[in-house]
Amino acid sequence: MQEIFELLQSHKSIRRYTNRPVEDELLARILECARQAPTSSNLQPYSIIVVRDAARKQLLAQYCGNQAWIEQCPVFLAMCPDLRRLNEICHARGYQFKDRHIEI
């Protein structure tokens, strides 16, 4: 348990990046962990959009209040609420979709 506490307490946000690209294999592992992360009601009501294109990152940085770190990072992950996807999955499996709010 001590190792888990130390890991959780060592978390920090870093917003200075090298220009070294993020390898596809590493990105795939990060995305898999994100998809398995717990959410309210375990709905995972989001889609993850991977943005590597410099022009798109520049636009996103502007849309997000001129946050330069978005433009400077080698890959940006946009987390987007997506109840439409969840509704489609329920419909395809014959379940009624009742949860029409986002709580991540």
- Check pLDDT > 70 for residue 18: yes
Residue 100, CA atoms < 13 Å, CB-side half-sphere: 3
What's the mean pLDDT in 1-27? 90
Q: Is the dihedral of CA 66, 67, 70, 71 positive or negative?
A: positive
In 3D, which of 29, 37, 35, 30 has the Cα closest to residue 85? 35
- Tens of pLDDT, residue by residue over 48-102, are 999 999 999 999 999 999 999 999 999 999 998 888 877 888 888 898 877 666 5
- Tens of pLDDT, residue by residue over 28-48, are 999 999 988 888 767 777 889
Q: What is the pLDDT of residue 57?
A: 97
Q: What is the pLDDT of residue 90?
A: 82
